[in-house]
A and B are shown apart, each in its own frame.
Chain A
């Protein structure tokens, strides 16, 4: 007869035995009084350990702790969304670059800039290009794509706003 090991008995207590090992253990226990006694004692130990007392912290511990935290803790900086910040920065850089290059082109094409009639020159350039800008809105495909993009942006904004509101309500719902 195979001797039943302490490890097997402990695994039995922790429900770690598979069905075949469990059957084998049950059969062997019938012929092994020592192991049976050990198992009985282990069950008592396991049951007693489940009743280990949880000591309570002194009264007002949480308030005292929060006071200590507000005095000594380093402030937790709100988490920065680097992805969002990166995208916004990229667009800002692109826009700035386009503006600068436009100004450079305008100055090169109009050496008279810097003279008193600057505003007239700029007005002329804007007048020249306003028609091509307007023509964008005549194209149905561009209007359709723009509409979809605007819709998606509004939808995304509503979803973010809603999840933020839900989270705030969840926090408020907690009884402190």
Chain B
């Protein structure tokens, strides 16, 4: 199967081949869906938001500058759409979107998750979902979507340094919980 780059597909869609947009949908739907599902904690909301993201992307394709990467541009749409949905639920987004200087309280979920986890891996994967939104997004974009820290900083609109701090703090928080339960002794 020949592989078209994102830019080649976009060029084709701009020439009027609307059906080719399905190639971009197939390429990004699952990863973007994972991000939204973790962000919104609800499958139906995530699917609806994802539809909104692809529609926005299609309608704004003419504004896409080809010196940027489509993935970064699209994940920015996904991130902003997710935040809009959260805001519309009248949640205290500011509280969720705590600044990186605040301490996050992953430990409050710890006992419950530890009790239901078979090993370090399942424990980590469960507790990732309890990270504050921005920390969780950085972790997912880094590990699942394979974006660089620089690309993630463009998606979430923070500086590179702050993005790096968010990733390090997330990992350190998870690391401290592992150490608390002596998981590192079990694994090695």
Seen from chain A, the residues whose Cβ lies within 8 Å of a Cβ on chain B are: 6-7, 10, 13, 37-38, 40-42, 44-58, 61-62, 64-66, 68-70, 72-79, 167, 170-171, 173-176
Contacts and interface: CB of A to CB of B under 8 A. Distances in A.
**Of listed B1, B61, B178, residue having the most chain A CB within 10 A:** B178
B25 A62 contact: yes
A52 B171 contact: no
A49 B144 CA distance: 8
- Interface size on B, as a range, is 35 or more
A76 B125 CA distance: 41
B179 A49 contact: no
Contacts of A74: 59
B1 A175 contact: yes
Contacts of B174: 45, 49
Contact of A65 (B12, B14, B25, B139): B25
6 contacts: A40-B188, A44-B121, A52-B143, A54-B31, A57-B33, A79-B15
Q: Chain A's interface: helix, strand, loop or mixed, by majority? A: helix
Interface in B1-23: 1-2, 4, 8, 12-23
B91 to A, nearest CB: 21
B187 interface: yes
Given A58-B47, A74-B59, A76-B61, A66 B19 contact: yes
